Amino acid sequence: MRPFPDDLVQAQQEWAAVYRQLAKRPGDTGLRRRLYQLSTAVLFHAHWQERGGRTPGALRELRSLGQGEGGRR
């Protein structure tokens, strides 16, 4: 399993939480803006500059960590 920085995992977890909230309130502009901010934070995080970069498998692994409340590394 590939280790991810805590702030990246936290941003992905928050992204998942905001996404679920937005599904319940699709017209909430504040939630939509926050989702865009978090998407940018996750996709352009410095971690992805390392060798190997932002591969589909790495993104999938990060998303699976973001789905659980306490899932880390």
Q: What is the pLDDT of residues 51-67, one digit of tens each?
A: 778 899 999 999 998 88
Residue 36 corresponds to which tokens in the numbers above?
């865009």
In this predicted structure, the answer to whether residue 73 has a pLDDT above a threshold of 60 is no
Taking residues 22-43, what's their average pLDDT?
Answer: 97
Q: Mean pLDDT, the chain, as a whole number?
A: 89
In this predicted structure, the answer to whether residue 71 has a pLDDT above a threshold of 90 is no
pTM of the entire structure? 0.83
42 burial via Cβ count (<10 Å: 0-12, 13-18, 19+): buried
